[in-house]
């Protein structure tokens, strides 16, 4: 008789410690089936005893293993039942403490806008390499654009705190096969003098698209959709020609200063406009370095100064209020 198979069937029905103990006695107790087989070995010849002894001992070990596994299962069920039985009921009228940071709220809102347009949200390391932060974005070691970044190096010249989330773009371009549309928000670092509109720790929101055919019209349409979703249909923006080594041609969106409505103030440095980011058509050299044929694929990319988008959204007149605990920087005072 196959006692192990019979034991497995009975263990399925044992749903309590008491029932399990009864099954254990039936097979491994003093008068159990398997123990009886082991005791019967003394009546066999030497050859038979050796042959069947190994078989019966193996059967005993397998039965013990099955019983232990079932005991563990029942113990877990009992523990969960006890926790459920002893758990206290929490009331749902507990007052809510705290709130999401304005930067987190705007990131989530922007992610929702872009995900609605078919974009994926990507992340990348804040401790970056020179290769992905600069070289793969068409910024070699001797390029004058390096001077624009005031880089904070951890181990010069290889490791640094990323100066922009364009490094996420460089990594995605090298790791994935187009077509794709992605955005990548995150914290960035530069050796900047801290004032109302600049900080050495701030946030970028990178976006990039690689498709068989892309034009500046697609980029402008994307920006118009984003600005209107965040600031309403009456938002006033303009585009200017700009230079960035990773794109050609390059453009930048400016938004009319939310604090002075274009009249000029300390926040916009008297010009009436706030620079909200930079963008353009991805440079063919950047595509080639990533192993993407620029004759078959085209793309656009944009990098937004996320903190300024947050300030405009919540009418915050000083960037220092976003990351510091200094109560002297009152968030809604210009």
Closest CA to 171 of 159, 184, 155: 184
The domain covering 102-323 belongs, at the CATH homologous superfamily level, to Bira Bifunctional Protein; Domain 2 (3.30.930.10)
Cα–Cα–Cα angle for 288, 289, 295, rounded to 5 degrees? 5
pTM: 0.67
pLDDT at 329: 45
What token pair was written down for 122?
């990507």
CA–CA dist 250, 275 (Å, integer)? 14
Q: Which residues contact 37 (CB under 8 A, 6 or more apart)?
A: 3, 52, 56, 59
Residue 167: pLDDT above 80?
A: yes
Contact criterion met (CB below 8 Å) for 108 and 116: no
Which whole-number Å values give the CA distances from 232 to 112, 226, 252, 297, 315, in the listed order? 16, 10, 20, 33, 14
Contact criterion met (CB below 8 Å) for 74 and 16: yes
pLDDT at 199: 85
pLDDT at 145: 67
Q: Please list, residue by residue across 313-330, b when 16 or more beta carbons sit within 10 angstroms of its beta carbon and e when fewer do.
A: beebbbbbbbbeeeeebe
Q: Which residues contact 26 (CB under 8 A, 6 or more apart)?
A: 10, 32, 33
Of residues 173 and 261, more confidence is placed in 173
For 70-112, write each residue's pLDDT tens digit.
Answer: 887 877 776 677 667 766 666 667 677 778 889 999 999 999 9
- Grade residue 303 by pLDDT with cuts at 50, 70 and 90: very high
Of residues 158 and 96, more confidence is placed in 158
pLDDT at 222: 96
């Amino acid at each position: 008789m196959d006692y192990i198979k019979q034991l497995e069937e009975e263990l399925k029905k044992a749903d309590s410690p008491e029932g399990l103990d009864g099954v254990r006695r039936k097979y491994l107790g003093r008068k159990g089936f398997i123990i009886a087989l082991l005791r019967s070995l003394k009546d066999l010849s030497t050859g038979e005893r050796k042959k069947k002894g190994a078989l019966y001992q193996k059967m005993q070990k397998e039965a013990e293993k099955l019983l232990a596994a079932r005991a563990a299962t029942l113990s877990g069920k009992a523990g969960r039942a006890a926790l459920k039985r002893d758990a206290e009921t929490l009331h749902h009228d507990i007052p809510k403490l705290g709130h999401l940071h304005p930067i987190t709220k705007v990131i989530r809102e922007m992610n929702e806008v872009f995900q609605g347009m078919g974009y994926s949200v990507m992340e990348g390391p804040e401790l970056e390499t020179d290769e992905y932060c600069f070289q793969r974005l068409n910024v070699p070691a001797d390029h004058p654009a390096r001077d624009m970044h005031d880089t904070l190096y951890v181990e010069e010249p290889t490791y640094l705190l990323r100066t922009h989330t364009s490094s996420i773009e460089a990594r995605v371009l090298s790791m994935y096969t187009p077509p794709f549309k992605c955005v990548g928000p995150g914290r960035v670092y530069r050796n900047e003098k801290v004032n109302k509109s600049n900080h050495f720790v701030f946030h970028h929101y990178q976006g990039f698209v690689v498709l068989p055919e892309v034009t500046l019209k697609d980029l402008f349409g994307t920006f118009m959709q984003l600005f209107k979703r965040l600031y309403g249909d009456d938002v006033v923006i303009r585009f200017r020609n700009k230079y960035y080594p990773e794109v050609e041609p390059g453009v930048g969106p400016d938004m009319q200063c939310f604090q002075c409505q274009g009249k000029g103030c300390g926040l916009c440095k008297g010009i009436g406009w706030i620079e909200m980011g930079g963008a353009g058509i991805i440079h063919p050299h950047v595509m080639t370095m990533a192993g993407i044929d620029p004759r078959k694929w085209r793309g656009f990319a944009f990098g937004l100064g996320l903190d300024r988008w947050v300030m405009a959204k919540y009418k915050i007149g000083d960037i220092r209020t976003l990351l510091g605990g200094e109560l002297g920087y009152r968030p809604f005072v210009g």
